[in-house]
Every structure is written in C-alpha cells, then in structure tokens.
C-alpha cells in the first residue's frame, strides 16, 4: 500500500483505517507513515476527527446508546454514504462535507440537546494551579503554565492524554483500559496510581511515583518505575537516572510541603528559593548549620523567620531581596 498519493486517495486509505477495513499489515503501514513526520500526524488526526464526527452523528440518531455500530451503518445507508471499498476518488471529500452539513442540521433541529459528542479538548493553565476531573473519574492537577489535551469521552481501549509542563495524576483504576500520558515522544503508561510528571518544553522529563507502578517508554527504552521512586529521562542520551527528592521540592507546587532532615543551611536556602521563587542570600559563615523541620502550607515569610530564629541568624529585606547573616553554628 502506497500512501505517497494525492490527497483524496490518501484520505480514503486513512478513512478505511479508522473504519477497520484494512489488514493488520496495512494498518501497521499507516501507523508507520503517521509517525514519519508532523505533517503526516496532523493529517492522520484531522481524518480521525472527521470520522468521529460522522460516527458521532450516527450515535445521536440512535434510540439506544448501545446501538452505536448499528446506528452508524443506518446513517451511512440513510445518507447514501458508500463503503470505501467501492468509493470513488471524490468520496472522502463528500464525507467531509456531509459531516459538516449533518452537524449543522443537528444543531438546527435540537439534536445537540442529546449530545455526547466526541471532541478534542485542550486545557491550558497559565497563572495558577488548575484541577481537572476526567470522564473516567481520574483527577489531574496542572501546575502553572502546563497544558493538556485529550479526547472526551475516551475512545477505544486506552485513556490517552497529551501533556506539556508539570502535572500530578490520580488515575482511576481500570485494568482493562490503560491510562497513557504522552509527553513529546515519551509515554508514561499506568493502570491506576498516583504520580507526578514534569516535562518543560524540549527538556528532560522527570517522573515521581507515589503509589502503584508506571511504565516509562521513550523510543526503544522501556522501564518500570515503582512507588517511592523518582527518575529523570535524559532525552538526548535515552537514559533513565534515579533521582532523590527528600525535601519534596518536586511536588511542592501541589503539596505545599517541604521536609528537611539534618539538611545543611545552604541546601535549605537553595530549596526555599526554588520552591517560593524568591531570592535569599547567605552572608557570613554557615559552618555546622543544619535544620530538621517540616513546613506545611507555610508562607515564605514564616519559613524565613523559623530558619533565622532557630539558627540565631539576622534576617533583613530590601525591595524583595532577603539576606540571612550569621556566624555559623559551632
């Protein structure tokens, strides 16, 4: 099967793919072609949405929700939509027009009152932590600047979302329908668990598992991460490295909790600066200074006061810049 054809013939092949009319070998060829370039993937997704629109219209016309497939066949017959095996080279262009017209007619006559339409959803959070509950009961917390895309309701045997940025997932357990997070070319696949993912644009990916297990995949790299483990995926070298986050800095945006156990003052201030996005400088000696303390949902001013009071350091502030000055803890 050759996908290097004109647009109409290529669309017909893709339509047959989504209609499950291709052989296993032909389906594999389509999937390989889709992965070859962003342009191919974009066309693949566009045809998928058009197909779902048409099938969705059949869904609305059904009197019983469990009769989706039968309703789709009836829709094709009622609207004289031919199967792709017998379609002409212009048939898919007709189908795209038919989908658009059918949706407009449905809206005009009030069919959208019963709508459970498959649609692509994009949620972008730019200025604060956002909370999302998906149709399967899974909950997602998005950190500032993160974005997530998904189809609602989920289709087929997988629950798949696309993520850029940082998010915390509480995945509803459905062993028969794996939950998959796409982030760039990498995937994190789970059955039911709690975990963090951080994927800044074009940078390495970090994964921290609180409960259950996840499978991290990137090209030919596949590794299971257990509860309590944290890893960083080096995209350039295709390598997973175990990381340690005893302070809770990675998940601070979600938990608002920092934990220090005999942590040096230098490391404490480094974590506090990153967690609260502030500037605290140390002056004088820090020799022998360490802290054992837990901060739960504390404002950074309170954190600095506890540190300065515990170690007998002087705390000053000048136009948003803070200084801790002391003579060490010997």
Question: Could you tell me if 71 and 151 lie in one domain?
Answer: no
Determine the pLDDT at residue 114. Answer: 37
Query: At residue 293, does pLDDT exceed 60?
Result: yes
Around Cβ 168, how many Cβ atoms within 10 Å?
A: 22
> How far apart are alpha carbons 82 and 148 in whole angstroms?
36
Question: Could you tell me if 82 and 140 lie in one domain?
Answer: no
Q: Do 169 and 181 form a contact (C-beta atoms < 8 A)?
A: yes
Domain assignment present for residue 2? The answer is no
Measured torsion, CA atoms of residues 227, 233, 239, 241, in degrees rounded to the nearest 10: -50
Share of the chain above pLDDT 70, in %: 73
Query: What does residue 225 show for φ and ψ, rounded to 5 degrees?
Result: -110, 125
Question: Could you tell me if 214 and 190 lie in one domain?
Answer: yes
Q: What CATH number does the domain containing 293 carry?
A: 3.55.50.30
Determine the pLDDT at residue 258. Answer: 95
Cα angle 120-183-233, degrees, rounded to a multiple of 5: 170
Query: What does residue 9 show for φ and ψ, rounded to 5 degrees?
Result: -65, -40
Question: Could you tell me if 234 and 169 lie in one domain?
Answer: yes
Question: Could you tell me if 209 and 258 lie in one domain?
Answer: no
Domain enclosing residue 60, as ranges: 7-114
| HEC assignment per residue over 34-71 | HCCCHHHHHHHHHHHHHHHHHHHHHHHHCCCHHHHHHH
> What's the pLDDT band for 278 if we cut at 50, 70, 90?
very high
Domain assignment present for residue 218? The answer is yes
H/E element holding 262? strand 257-264
> What's the pLDDT band for 112 if we cut at 50, 70, 90?
very low
Cα angle 275-295-249, degrees, rounded to a multiple of 5: 30
> What's the pLDDT band for 26 if we cut at 50, 70, 90?
confident
Query: At residue 151, does pLDDT exceed 50?
Result: yes
Residue 129 CB partners (closer than 8 Å, separation 6+): 141, 142, 143, 144, 253, 254
Determine the pLDDT at residue 40. Answer: 80
Q: Do 219 and 238 form a contact (C-beta atoms < 8 A)?
A: yes
The domain boundary residue, chosen from 93, 114, 135: 114
The domain boundary residue, chosen from 192, 216, 243: 243
Tens-place pLDDT, residues 93-109: 545 555 554 544 444 44
> How far apart are alpha carbons 164 and 141 in whole angstroms?
13
Question: Could you tell me if 85 and 12 lie in one domain?
Answer: yes
Higher-confidence position of 184 and 54:
184
Question: Could you tell me if 233 and 188 lie in one domain?
Answer: yes
Domain assignment present for residue 208? The answer is yes
Question: Could you tell me if 200 and 162 lie in one domain?
Answer: yes
Higher-confidence position of 273 and 20:
273
Tens-place pLDDT, residues 167-202: 999 999 888 888 999 998 899 999 778 999 998 766
The domain tally of the chain equals 3
Averaged pLDDT of the chain? 78
**Residue whose structure tokens are 């087929």:** 156
The domain boundary residue, chosen from 89, 114, 139: 114
Query: At residue 91, does pLDDT exceed 60?
Result: no
């Amino acid at each position: 099967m050759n996908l290097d054809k004109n647009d109409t013939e290529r669309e017909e092949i893709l339509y047959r793919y989504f209609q499950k009319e291709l052989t296993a070998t032909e389906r594999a060829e389509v999937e390989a072609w889709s992965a070859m370039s962003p342009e191919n993937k974009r066309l693949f997704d566009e045809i998928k949405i058009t197909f779902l629109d048409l099938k969705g219209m059949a869904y609305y016309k059904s009197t019983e929700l469990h009769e989706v497939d039968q309703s789709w066949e009836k829709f094709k017959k009622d609207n004289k939509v031919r199967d792709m095996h017998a379609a002409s080279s212009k048939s898919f262009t007709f189908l795209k027009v038919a989908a658009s017209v059918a949706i407009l007619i449905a809206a005009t006559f009030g069919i959208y009152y019963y709508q459970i339409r498959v649609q692509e959803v994009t949620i972008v959070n730019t200025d604060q932590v956002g909370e999302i509950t998906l149709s399967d009961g899974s909950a997602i917390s998005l950190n500032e600047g993160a974005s997530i895309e998904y189809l609602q309701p989920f289709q087929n045997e997988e629950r798949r979302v696309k993520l850029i940025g940082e998010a915390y997932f509480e995945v509803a357990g459905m062993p028969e329908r794996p939950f998959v997070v796409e982030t760039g070319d990498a995937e994190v696949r789970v059955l039911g668990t709690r975990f963090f993912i951080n994927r800044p644009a074009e940078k390495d990916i970090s994964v921290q598992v609180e409960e259950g297990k996840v499978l991290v995949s990137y090209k030919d790299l596949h590794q299971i991460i257990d509860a309590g483990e944290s890893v960083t995926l080096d995209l350039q070298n295709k390598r997973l490295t175990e990381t340690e986050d005893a302070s809770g800095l990675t998940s601070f945006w979600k938990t608002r909790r920092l934990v220090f156990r005999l942590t040096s003052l230098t490391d404490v201030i480094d974590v506090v600066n990153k967690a609260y996005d502030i500037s605290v400088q140390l002056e004088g000696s820090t020799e022998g200074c360490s802290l054992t303390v837990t901060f739960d949902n504390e404002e950074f001013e309170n954190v600095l006061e506890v540190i300065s009071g515990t170690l007998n350091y002087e705390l000053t502030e000048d136009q948003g810049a803070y200084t801790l000055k002391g003579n060490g803890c010997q």
